Amino acid sequence: MEERRGTVSSKGIIILGAGGHAKVVIEAIEASGDNAAYCIGSCGTSTTLLNVPILPDESHLDRLRAEGYQRAFIAIGASSVRERLGNLVVGKGFNLVTVIHPKAWVSPSAQVGNGVVIMAGAMINACAVIGDLAIINTGATVDHDCTIGRAAHIAPQCGIAGSVTVGSGSMLGVGTKVIPGITIGKNATIGAGSVVVRNIPEGALAMGVPARITVRSTS
């Protein structure tokens, strides 16, 4: 199998995912001066995604690893799938890379985990902690002393004020605003455009202005 770009000593990144989110990740990778070698996933009848060759399923991972590919990124929006595939590729010996668009801003005092993407226009402020496999999407802001959990997804244009905790696997919909000091439990979902002014428990669905819990976890 021939490398799309780069050399044997600089193998490209293997992207798991071949949808819209993967497109944005590929362009962020290229904007930062790196390259995506292959996508793994389904994209209808297409054989490429933004000129990156598509391989149909995860069975190719072992061969790619044997050929010297070491880096992988999970470009899938669903937190549970991202978690599963992240564990899969690490188990096969790949390193999960973090992708930071050059037009994002990350404080030097922030901590950013592995397998994270920080999209264009996003801002991560002082002493924030971003967990492994998290998505900080286009134009989202995470202010000082926040903790964003593993595989959480902060959608485009979210505004998270200081000292907020977002639990692992939680999803904040487009344009969500969160006031300072709030805790959102793990695997919670906040509807697009909501304003969160009270703590949200684990597994809950909340929406509205102010956000109200419409579904509580039964576990």
Task: Read off the pLDDT of residues 15-45 as tens digits, 9 standing for 90 and up.
Answer: 999 999 999 999 999 999 999 999 999 777 7
User: Which range, of 39-53, 56-70, 116-130, 131-145, averages the lowest pLDDT?
Assistant: 39-53
Do the beta carbons of residue 138 and residue 157 sit within 8 Å?
Answer: yes
Whole-number Cα distances in Å, 29 to 48, 74, 120, 207: 16, 13, 11, 33
> Do both 83 and 104 map to the same domain?
no
> How many angstroms separate the Cα of 201 from the Cα of each of 63, 106, 113, 158, 208?
43, 28, 24, 19, 16
- Name the catalytic one among 21, 60, 144, 153: 144
To the query of whether residue 144 is one of the catalytic residues in this protein, the response is yes
Half-sphere exposure of 134 (CA within 13 A, CB side): 29
Domain shared by 124 and 161, yes or no: yes
Q: What domain range is 193 assigned to?
A: 98-204
CA 128-27-68 angle, to 5 degrees, is 90
Per-residue pLDDT tens for 106-130? 999 999 999 999 999 999 999 999 9
As for how many domains the chain has, the answer is 2
Find the CATH number of the domain harbouring 180: 2.160.10.10
Q: Are residues 116 and 177 in the same domain?
A: yes
Answer yes or no: is 216 within a domain. no
CB 38 within 8 A of CB 63: no
Same structural domain, 183 and 154: yes
Is the CB of residue 198 less than 8 Å from the CB of residue 213?
no
